[in-house]
Amino acid sequence: MADRIRRVLVTRASTPLGRALVERLRGAPDVEQVCAVESRPLSPSQREPGLDVVPLVPDHRPFVESLAQEAIDTVIQCGLTQDRCGLRRDDGEADVISTMSLGAVIAQPDSPVRSWIVASSTDVYPISSYAPLVQSEKTPIVNPPATPGASIEEAEEYARDVAIRSPHLNVAILRLQHLVGPGVRGALARLLSQRPVPSPIGYDPTIQLLHLEDAADALAFAARHELAGLYNVASAGLIHWRDAVRAAGSDPLPMLPVAFAPLEGLAARAGLPHLPAELMGLLRYGHAADTNRIERAGWRSRWDQRSILAELGTTLADR
């Protein structure tokens, strides 16, 4: 169905992922119009031409009117979790309220939307010594309450319920791996950007990254081909932590494999090296996502792990 002409709306379009996605869609011959929106007020530095602010909560009416006025048939949600749209995560909770509000708008009987793509996160998968290293979309999700994975699963479950209640609507949930790329400020990208890179003593986990361009390309692919269901997304290959550090042009800084979350802000302001609490499971046990399903649908990554890290190293060397 890639030959169909589409009218697409991208939420959280001021984020690194949102901007990359809008740019990619605006260059696609089968996309007639792209509306770049934010649902919350922007700072002066975030404002840019072609980016509109359309309130989503608590009043849905402006968003409903915008969808109808622009005859939007595809909505791509980029802001479920901050680090998966390229931002620094201020807290561990996914934006469940916005997902529920957006779903309520899209599922209205008179809505013109026929495809809803949610940029979710592989943080939903458990990471521990008991969990498998490579996890597929069929991996059972069991997360304790009040964890990032639990809130992501809650948002995804709502999106799946919308799909069940609205059989005319294609709902695709893309679980993105940790982003790295220009302007990305997620925890793993920040850690790999340090010189030297804090690394846990006694551990050399397998990791998997996702380049910003691959993430935008996968979301655009899902929209153009009207995918439905769950899909893992990551750039090609796997790499061990210490190899990743060296591929990024740095050296590991051995540290005890412990984190002190209450002191992280103070350590960051003081410029002291530390291991982020949100990454401790990954830095001990590693994690990878099985991307076979989206590859069978026809998508292929353009980046692999070493090329991502080489770009990161070159960017840092040029500063």
Structure confidence at residue 268 as a pLDDT band (50, 70, 90): confident
Structure token pair of residue 106 = 């899209």
Nearest to 241 by CA among 252, 249, 255: 252
Query: Looking at per-residue confidence, does 126 or 270 come out higher?
Result: 126
Taking phi first (over 0 means left), then psi (-120 to 50 degrees means alpha), and beta for anything else, what does residue 107 get? alpha
Taking the C-alpha atoms of residue 138 and residue 197, their distance in angstroms, rounded to an integer, is: 34
The tens digit of pLDDT for each residue in 32-45 reads 999 999 988 777 76
pLDDT at position 165, please? 94
pLDDT at 94: 87
pLDDT tens digits for range 175-220: 999 999 999 999 999 999 999 999 999 999 999 999 999 999 999 9
Q: What is the mean pLDDT of residues 220-230?
A: 96
- Do residues 291 and 233 lie in contact, with contact meaning Cβ atoms separated by under 8 Å? yes
C-alpha separations of 253 from 160, 245, 246, 259, 317 in Å: 43, 10, 11, 15, 18
pLDDT at 44: 73
Q: Which of 91, 155, 90 is nearest to 124 (CA)?
A: 155
* Measured distance CA(312)–CA(192) in Å, rounded: 8
pLDDT value of residue 1? 57
pLDDT value for 201: 97
